[in-house]
Structure 1
């Protein structure tokens, strides 16, 4: 299989509220819009909010969004009316994480990779 691109699809119960959340509250840039859908940039990926869903979020799925400064991001979101489901904390695997939810309850994991974390190690042959 030769994958050329990818995106996450969300089918929200309240399409307008979910688009407003990702666009206005989180401030994600729009990649493209079409009748019934909006595609947002997610760093190296895309998030498509399309159509309408009936069941809402599942605890078995989450969005993982890496940010530069977790404390500043959480403070900015609080100023925009988003109270974290779980505030920033260092996880046993060494990442700093906070959790928020979109209007349907989809978990969004905000992640800061500390400077000394193995994910920041340059693995190229030196």
Structure 2
């Protein structure tokens, strides 16, 4: 088993697509007229598969974190470079932090147009690409 992707309800699909492409996602395709509304499939350049589906259904009203999602996490090669690149694109990241101490990961936070929080993570050298049991010893 594996998680395939996360569907995020969005209020304005064009605004959300502009945000996520500025972050680095690529548009893979769209599906109109589903029971859930219109779907926009996004993928990061290093991923083999779609990881985010933007779901727009105007009949459901405003979208946002009140729907129950806490945050998404995106691994980046360099938090400092990503921070500067996003700021240059008009996205204001929060400060760079080291929540695990000096030897731990570097992180910073951004929010999408609907208020969904996104944590950007740079793992320390030698860390696997994701959380493992070793992170909870």
Q: Work out whether the TM-score is over 0.5.
A: yes
Show structure 2 runs of 5+ residues with no match.
33-37, 130-137
SS in 2 for 1:81: coil
How far off its partner does 1:27 sit? 2.7
Distance 1:73 1:7, change over 3 A: same
Q: 1:109 to 1:5 in 2, by over 3 A?
A: closer
1:92 paired residue number: 100
Q: Shift in Å at residue 5 of structure 1? A: 5.8
Aligned residue for 1:63? 72
Residue 71 of structure 1, CA deviation: 0.3
TM-score (norm 1): 0.78
SS for the counterpart of 1:83 is coil
The Cα shift of 1:103 comes to: 0.1
Correspondence list, 1:37-52, <5 A: 37-42=39-44, 43=47, 46-52=51-57
Query: Aligned partners of 1:5, 1:14: CA distance in 2, in Å?
Result: 26
RMSD: 2.4
How far apart are the structure 2 equivalents of 1:15 and 1:62? 19
CA distance in 2, matches of 1:105, 1:68: 24
Q: Which of the numbers 18, 21, 35 marks the counterpart of 2:16?
A: 18
- The question of 1:72 aligning with 2:74 is answered no
Q: Secondary structure at the match of 2:97?
A: strand
TM-score, normalisation: structure 2: 0.73
CA distance in 2, matches of 1:31, 1:7: 13
For residues 20 and 116 of structure 1, the distance between their equivalents in structure 2, rounded to whole angstroms, comes to 33
